[in-house]
Amino acid sequence: MLSRLTFALAVLLGSTILSGCNTNSTIAAEQSSSLNVPQYSAEQFFATKTYFGNDINHNATAMLVASDESGVFNLYRVSLDGSNWQPLTQSTTDPAFPVSWFPQDDRLLYTADQGGNELNHVYLREVDGTVRDLTPGDKLKAYFVGWHNDHSFYIASNERDPRFFDLYHYNGSDYSRQLVFSNSDGYGISAVSKDGRYVALSKERNNADNNLYLLQLGNSNASPVLITGHQGNISHQVYGFTPDSTALLFGANGSSEFVAAYSYNLQSGATSPYSQADWDISFIYFSDDKQYRVQGVNADASTVLSITHLPTGKALQLPELPAGDLRGVTFSADSKYLSFYLNADNSPSNLYVWQLGSPAAKRLTQALDSSINEQHLVQSKVVRFNSFDDVTIPALLYKPHQATANTKLPAVIWIHGGPGGQSRTGYNPMLQHLVNHGYAVLSVNNRGSAGYGKTFFHLDDLRHGEDDLQDIVYGKKYLQTLDWVAGDRIGVMGGSYGGYLTMAAMAFTDEFNLGINIFGVTNWVRTLESIPPWWEAFRESLYAELGDPAVDGERLHRISPLFHADKVKKPVLVVQGANDPRVLQVESDEMVEAIRANNVPVEYVLFEDEGHGFLKKSNRITAQQAYLAFLKQYL
């Protein structure tokens, strides 16, 4: 789960600490290997199946799971023993994403957009397979908010005013609905208490400061009540209400660099500390029967998850599992069963079910294609290097098995999206494919990345394309200290904001042999002037981070690669989705045309049926083949 600060920026450019020593010699020694590794194709890497969602139904007989096995994400009813996978949707165009089973039967809710345009609707699937759009309309966006104790539910929609989301309460039987909160002041709707009495709201001040409010539902005279009054800049995020609807749990970074958890008592109005860690607390939630609490901590680019048995306060002892991060922990209604995913750099997310108290968990999926040996893939290492101003920059380093001091390999710097995103551990077929074909990868968490404290997060405010770009350049310098890297053959690539920094690296430096720009911004003035209406609540946060085009137009023009295309001298590959509502196709069209006019090699891959991120398996394979062919030709 993204922090509020990260989300405000991830909304714009998508995404999925501060001290240390240079450990290049240690890493090189640890990762050196004589393993003879075959090279696998893009088709093999993307034959890997991607799964997510694992909500357990009311009688613990099945889970609701999404899989892209068909080439497009569809929903499946999966028996708890994994023996039966029943398709519930059969879309060939628009991916379906699971929301939840109904609490007392096998009806379900899911969401889908149209061709990647991000105008998600919420759909209901009846037990007989009939599908109903609960949020019909041409240009609206909607999302599920939560369940009521009586099995009715809440959906937020911007149909009344495209700028803001209103809250609707839906009857769980006939699906009639009532507008319960008309949002005309730009609040973000975060959660509704299970008893239906309160909705938690957020309100942005800037990218470093926001407030949380509570609104009593059912009282026409009620107004949102501020619950996080404070001085200075403090970021807050909602985790959710406690299962008994007596308190709201939220995160705040006022007392330290990192986000700690607090509890607000709904009756007394008192706020008290709830939980603290050495890193950001990313999420807290509970089993339906109130027996267990799940907490996730973003610890140095990995998620450390803890499960607590609340009556005893003791940690739940899980059975022995392979190495990796637990994700998506879900309990059955009676907490007799636990479902989760296990993910590692060399192993995609596999689905498990465990009957509490039994000696072993059962693995239900084989996500990695059977033709690929996990041992042939590479585990990343957390490294750190100093940038131009001695700020320490964290990164993940992937060393190919075939790299040695006598076999120096070319390298690619990968830049995440955001700008407030984070490169994290976990299986990434795009990177593993490149590493498998002999390219070292350094995933840089440049200044402005989430997860390393609020100071680090704000070091790039109004400095984009400048200080954070130097972090990428110094990432190259770090790679050049490794005796197994060919220091004269280093490229740069990234998606979304990472695509922007890639183009900035090509236009404003002469450091890299090539650039691969995946739907990256090239004209900040246009991008910030054309944000979709539903981003209105985050407009001031975006401007505080990136600049207001009416005020900072000169700077935004100066850092926009499109206006400096004549400085691009090395080959560039651009990849874009035609339906992208965040980075418009025109951004890439014009950049390609401008580079081409200078007789610099440029290649362009455009997907007519994708948006901001490629969801169809065939398109991901096409893009991956283009990345590798481009690297082989020019690096």
Alpha helices (H) along 183-298: none
Distance CA 218, CA 220 (A): 6
Instruction: Give the pLDDT of residue 541.
Output: 85
Distance CA 187, CA 236 (A): 14
User: Residue 513: its pLDDT value, please?
Assistant: 98
What residue ranges in 242-391 does DSSP mark as E strands? Answer: 247-252, 260-265, 271-275, 280-286, 292-299, 302-309, 314-315, 325-331, 337-344, 347-355, 362-363, 381-386
Which residues are CB-contacts of 23 (< 8 A; sequence separation ≥ 6)?
Answer: 383, 384
- The confidence score (pLDDT) of residue 535 equals 81
State the DSSP code for 535: G
Q: Look at residue 492 and tell me if it is in a domain.
A: yes
pLDDT score for 10: 39
Q: Give the whole-angstrom CA distance, residue 496 versus residue 502.
A: 10
Whether residue 390 is contained in a domain is answered as yes
Q: Which helix (H) or strand (E) holds 18?
A: none
Retrieve residue 249's tokens: 């749990």
* pLDDT for the residue 12: 41
> Structurally, how many domains does the chain consist of?
1
Residues of the chain with pLDDT under 50: 1-33
Q: Is residue 173 part of a domain?
A: no
Confirm whether 429 is domain-assigned. yes
Angle between helices 539-546 and 4-13 (to 10 degrees): 80
- Per-residue model confidence (pLDDT) at position 36: 84
Distance between CA atoms of 531 and 529, rounded to whole angstroms? 6
For residue 419, is the peptide bond before it cis, meaning its omega torsion is within 30 degrees of 0?
Answer: yes
Within 10 angstroms of residue 317's Cβ, the number of other Cβ atoms is: 9
Q: Which two tokens stand for residue 258?
A: 């990192």
pLDDT at 29: 35
Q: What is the pLDDT of residue 220?
A: 85
Q: What is the residue type of 275?
A: S
Phi, psi values for residue 262, rounded to 5°? -135, 155
Q: State pLDDT tens for residues 550-571.
A: 999 999 999 999 999 999 999 9
CA distance 254 to 175: 42
d(CA 490, CA 505) in angstroms, rounded, equals 12
Any domain includes 561:
yes
Where b means 16+ CB within 10 Å and e means fewer, 382-405 reads bbbbbbeeebbbbbbbbbbbbbee
Domain holding 482, by residue range, is 381-532+545-634
Say whether 319 sits in a helix, a strand or coil.
coil
Is 174 domain-assigned? no
The answer to whether residue 500 sits within a structural domain is yes
Strand order in the sheet with 325-331: 325-331, 337-344, 347-355, 362-363
Q: Give me the CATH number covering residue 500.
A: 3.40.50.1820
Long-range contacts of 35-40 (CB under 8 A, 24+ apart): 35/375, 35/376, 35/401, 37/376, 37/400, 37/401, 37/402, 37/436, 38/376, 39/436, 39/437, 39/438, 40/371, 40/372, 40/376, 40/433, 40/436
pTM: 0.90
The token duo for 360 is 């072993």
Say if CB 212 and CB 201 are below 8 A apart: yes
Q: Which residue has the tokens 């998620």?
A: 303
pLDDT at residue 544, rounded to an integer: 87
| pLDDT computed for residue 19 by the predictor | 29
In a domain, 112, yes or no: no
pLDDT of residue 231: 94
Are the C-beta atoms of residues 187 and 213 closer than 8 Å to each other? yes
